[in-house]
Structure 1
Amino acid sequence: MALQVFTAVTGAAWESELVGALDREDHGVTVVRRCVDVAELLAAATTGTGQAALLSAELRRLDGSAVARLHAAGVAVVGLVEPGDTRAADRLRQLGVVRVLPADAEPEAIARALREAVTGVPVAGHDVADPRAALPALGLPPEAGAGPAGGGRVVAVWGPTGAPGRTTVAVGLADEAARLDVPTLLVDADVYGGVVAQVLGLLDESPGVAAAARQAAAGTLDRAALARLAWSVSPQLRVLTGLARADRWPELRPRAVGVVLEEARRLAALTVVDCAFSLEEDEELSFDTAAPRRNGATLTVLESADEVLCVSGADPVALQRTVRALAELRDALPEVEPIVVVNQVRRGPVPGDARQEIATALGRFTGREVRAFLPADRKATDAALATGRTLAEVAPHSALRTGLRALAAELGGVPAPAGRRARRGR
């Protein structure tokens, strides 16, 4: 039985000749519909009459969301670009089109790529080469530097509802890693109310993560563009600010967030992402693959991260929330192995030796060890928040800052700095 294919390559001079060549029986491909735009292509995909789609890079309003909807409808996608147009090939790959061919490829090669896309065969060697591999630093602003070629690490800072101090930990880790000469990018991906910009005294009207997601959806985001969208707080620290309003969460589509993280790996050696707390999926929306999901961005970050930090408070209520949150994480993403960090440790809420009691309780109810205990230092955190500065600037000898610096060194893969001896009389 011939493979049923949709085409959306309008506007190209070679479109009619290509469709005629593919319709020949010896190729095993039948074009069941020639679509003129993305809307018609998506409508045809929902009918279930085709198994693959052949589209061109010039198709108007083609974005990552459209490609994701095609995949969700069970339609494999193959892209065509003008011969030698590596920029268009790069854009299609960023949109999620894995197989990209030059338009002058033989009809049999195109038909074979369509069949392989449907069956899931790995990408063949006739695809257009990825230009980013050959020109990793092309177009970068001077301040971006060469940067890692996609080898950066992503650390997600997540935790239960309440106020366990996720943002404090994320900002502190990013700042301390940058002070250890690790090129770092701090991303505010909290869809319920990110405040990284306010904590650091930055303007939250800047485009930030929303603009990066829009460019990722359009296939135009690269390392240079990401560097331009991020604030340069220090020579080694950039900040991608969050949503200015919580009701703008639909702008952070999961696939676009994934592309942003891919480019972040190319820009910085370490990317620290401040996440929202919720992992819940709307059961009603789960039946509609086109509907946006508010927590999709958080799930994408946790799934893509190299390390996931679960930040817990140190009081009984916060610990109970952490136990439940870890169970939810295990159900949602069983492959993720989080690192538990207990923040705001102090005397009072937990009787006896707080660290020992907390470690015992979390080990008993979650089966996980506590990697780090961060002491409560309300005076230092208040001073930092009031002035829009970091702990290292307002309280360099704070015990909380010392704990964050040690954790940042571990996550950044650099030696922990030796502690300074306190001055006499302090």
Structure 2
Amino acid sequence: MSVGVLCAVRGTAESIIVQAVEGTGGRLSVTRRCADLTELLAAAEAGLGRIAVVSVDLDLLDRESVDVLHRAGVTVVGVGDPSRPWLADRMRAYGVDVLTDAPADEAGADELVLGALAALERPASTGPRPEGPAPEQPVVAPREVDGAVVAVWGPTGAPGRTTVAVNLAAELAAASGTTLLVDADTYGGSVAQVVGLLDEAPGLAAAARAAAQGTLDLHHLARLAPVLAPDLRVLSGVSRADRWPELPASSLDAVWSVARGLARWTVVDCGFCLESDEVLTFDTRAPQRNGATISALEAADVVVVVGAADPVGIQRLVRGLGELTDLGLGTTRVVVVNRVRASVAGPRPGEAVAGALARYAGVTDAHLVPDDRPALDAALLDARTLREAVPGSPARRALAGVAARVDAIVRSAVDVAALAAR
């Protein structure tokens, strides 16, 4: 059966490519010659083709649209302009499967077709394809990954995700290297306020826009993330909850990749909700409000799961752990129970919390953070971390223990990977 090809190529190269496709003896067939990106995406989502040949300068083409094509099961072939090599670099950042110069003759078009067929036969993925050399065409090379991503997540009910994320980032920065603190909460991001930054800072939304256009690199990300303390940078979130569409998951996937090269640790403060909006899922191109959280959890090397130490908070934590498991997220976890106090958990609050988690969630190694309200209030009042404001706080010591645990987990994983590579 012939494989459908969607062609959205500008200039004289289009007719050369169409002729080459039709000359494959029935293996390929041009099913739609698209005038613009809207028509291309509509044809892909309608299942009219499995290969899309696209000009690198097609209007409105960005990482999100390439991701839409991938989700529709379409292999993307980028056709570049040798006189404008920066467009080819941008297409690599978008995650195209094959990138080649616009053919000037029949031989060049035949090579493009062979490269497209080879890419089609490789295993499909849900995002930008793995990069590496191919005999027919150059494919995008893999990015070296240095740093680790730590997602801080917790169920609804304000269990203290932001407090844990901010102080965990501060402890990691002080103990084991450069750290980037990111606010990816699309419901009530407050990292900027907690650490004393202006709401107007462009932050993560600007990074996501640059990633969507394929222009985000280490220098750009560093400019967007001001230095808060030695070895600690902050990438602030959206200033209003209604700006959540500015954080599409496909763009954030690229942000996490660049962040790994910028900092030893990337600590992401996530929103609470993991649900997929049932209305929006009818339109595969509609933005997903919880996509930012799911993107961070999927990228994370370690997920720090935060719950509150009261009967309602423990119940939500147990259910949240089950939800993460059902969704296949956060397989490597560190459980943190926040605000542990006798007034709500009994005379031995630590034992009560530990017993409940062991019984109902099978968690036997949770980190318990005591409810040190005076210290937390003092830190919030001065817009500083516990390490800076009240270094002797019991809550700060507990969170330093969480940082040490996260560091040990990542180091162990690196050691195992190094042994496996030998």
TM-score scaled by length of structure 1: 0.87
Decide whether the 8 Å contact of 2:161 with 2:269 is kept in 1: yes
Deviation at 1:14, TM superposition (A): 3.1
Alpha-carbon separation, structure 2, partners of 1:171 and 1:27: 59
Letter in 1 for 2:326: D
Deviation at 1:75, TM superposition (A): 2.3
Greater share of residues in helix: 2
Task: Give SS of 2:292's match.
Answer: helix
- Aligned to 1:407, which of 395, 402, 410? 402
1:138 equivalent in structure 2: none
Q: How do residues 147-158 of structure 1 correspond to structure 2 at under 5 angstroms?
A: 149-158=144-153
Structure 1 residues 233 and 151: CA distance shift in structure 2, 3 A: same
Q: How do residues 103-182 of structure 1 correspond to structure 2 at under 5 angstroms?
A: 103-104=102-103, 106-121=108-123, 124-128=134-138, 130=140, 149-182=144-177
User: Deviations for 1:61-102, whole angstroms, at most 9, x for unmatched residues?
Assistant: 101221122223332212122349664333223223132223
Task: Give SS of 2:168's match.
Answer: helix
Q: How do residues 283-302 of structure 1 correspond to structure 2 at under 5 angstroms?
A: 283-302=278-297
Structure 1 residues 390 and 25: CA distance shift in structure 2, 3 A: closer
Task: Give SS of 1:55's match.
Answer: strand
Decide whether the 8 Å contact of 1:101 with 1:127 is kept in 2: yes
Aligned-pair RMSD on alpha carbons? 2.3
1:422 equivalent in structure 2: none
- Aligned to 1:309, which of 304, 327, 345? 304
Letter in 1 for 2:87: A
- When structure 1 is superposed on structure 2, of 55-64 and 329-338 the one drifting more is 329-338
Structure 1 residues 196 and 334: CA distance shift in structure 2, 3 A: closer
Deviation at 1:45, TM superposition (A): 2.1
2:70 equivalent in structure 1: 71
Structure 2 unaligned spans of 5+: 124-129, 411-422
Structure 1 residues 246 and 371: CA distance shift in structure 2, 3 A: same
2:202 equivalent in structure 1: 207
Deviation at 1:301, TM superposition (A): 0.8
Alpha-carbon separation, structure 1, partners of 2:179 and 2:332: 23
- Aligned to 2:349, which of 351, 354, 374? 354
Decide whether the 8 Å contact of 1:155 with 1:305 is kept in 2: yes
Decide whether the 8 Å contact of 1:340 with 1:369 is kept in 2: no
Number of residue pairs aligned between Structure 1 and Structure 2: 399
Decide whether the 8 Å contact of 1:89 with 1:130 is kept in 2: no
Letter in 2 for 1:115: L
1:372 equivalent in structure 2: 367
Structure 1 residues 86 and 373: CA distance shift in structure 2, 3 A: farther
Structure 1 residues 325 and 335: CA distance shift in structure 2, 3 A: closer
Decide whether the 8 Å contact of 1:3 with 1:115 is kept in 2: no
Alpha-carbon separation, structure 1, partners of 2:96 and 2:26: 22
Alpha-carbon separation, structure 1, partners of 2:408 and 2:97: 32
Q: How do residues 312-391 of structure 1 correspond to structure 2 at under 5 angstroms?
A: 312-333=307-328, 336-391=331-386
- When structure 1 is superposed on structure 2, of 300-309 and 65-74 the one drifting more is 65-74
Alpha-carbon separation, structure 1, partners of 2:333 and 2:408: 18
Alpha-carbon separation, structure 2, partners of 1:349 and 1:389: 28
Alpha-carbon separation, structure 2, partners of 1:273 and 1:317: 25
Deviation at 1:48, TM superposition (A): 2.5
Letter in 1 for 2:282: F
Task: Give SS of 2:342's match.
Answer: coil
Deviation at 1:279, TM superposition (A): 0.8
- When structure 1 is superposed on structure 2, of 334-343 and 320-329 the one drifting more is 334-343
Structure 1 residues 320 and 185: CA distance shift in structure 2, 3 A: same
Decide whether the 8 Å contact of 1:216 with 1:259 is kept in 2: yes
Task: Give SS of 1:25's match.
Answer: coil
Letter in 2 for 1:90: D
1:9 equivalent in structure 2: 9
Structure 1 residues 321 and 373: CA distance shift in structure 2, 3 A: same
Task: Give SS of 1:381's match.
Answer: helix
2:18 equivalent in structure 1: 19
Task: Give SS of 1:326's match.
Answer: helix
4+ residue segments displaced more than 6 Å? none
Task: Give SS of 2:345's match.
Answer: coil
Q: How do residues 232-247 of structure 1 correspond to structure 2 at under 5 angstroms?
A: 232-247=227-242
Decide whether the 8 Å contact of 1:101 with 1:126 is kept in 2: no
Task: Give SS of 2:368's match.
Answer: strand
Structure 1 unaligned spans of 5+: 134-148, 416-426
2:95 equivalent in structure 1: 96
Alpha-carbon separation, structure 2, partners of 1:331 and 1:167: 24
TM-score scaled by length of structure 2: 0.88
Alpha-carbon separation, structure 2, partners of 1:368 and 1:287: 37
User: Deviations for 1:315-350, whole angstroms, at most 9, x for unmatched residues?
Assistant: 111111111111222222256342211111122211
Structure 1 residues 370 and 223: CA distance shift in structure 2, 3 A: same
Decide whether the 8 Å contact of 1:250 with 1:294 is kept in 2: yes
Alpha-carbon separation, structure 1, partners of 2:387 and 2:47: 58
Deviation at 1:19, TM superposition (A): 2.7
Alpha-carbon separation, structure 1, partners of 2:282 and 2:48: 20
1:43 equivalent in structure 2: 42
Structure 1 residues 65 and 414: CA distance shift in structure 2, 3 A: closer
- When structure 1 is superposed on structure 2, of 98-107 and 183-192 the one drifting more is 98-107
Deviation at 1:352, TM superposition (A): 3.7
